[in-house]
Amino acid sequence: MADTNMVNEQQTEFGLSQYDAEEGRIIIRTPNFDFDTFPELGDKLLKLLSAQAIEKQWDADIHSWLIDFEDCQLFLRAEHYSECVWLEALSSGDSKQELDFLASLFERGF
């Protein structure tokens, strides 16, 4: 019989890797992606969060999106070499309530 926790982990696409409340940063566990496939993954994540992209920017190895989540602006960033995706406040200390809420969502996984 399969372990229920293991089955749940396999079914969730997005989860919490780390939450640094002091720095205002949530590192998100995601499916594998590369530079070219992140836009699709990022759009899927925004749809799940009912968030909107305000501005999308990319450089040689990183996507930086300014997003709106419940009237709170955050950065969604993705670095393809490390396959790391994170949300961060525009400045530390901002958006703590929203980041706490998002961290709790990611902790449950979806």
Helices (H), ranges, the chain: 4-11, 38-49, 96-108
Res. 37: pLDDT tops 50: yes
Report in angstroms the alpha-carbon separations of 93 from 21, 23, 25, 53: 8, 7, 10, 22
Query: Beta strands 52-58 and 84-89: pairing type?
Result: unpaired
Domain ranges of the chain: 44-110
pLDDT single digits (tens) 46-103: 999 999 999 999 998 899 999 999 999 999 999 988 999 999 999 766 799 999 999 9
Give me Rg for the CA atoms of the chain: 14
d(CA 68, CA 87): 11
Mean pLDDT of the region 30-41: 95
**pLDDT of amino acid 92:** 63
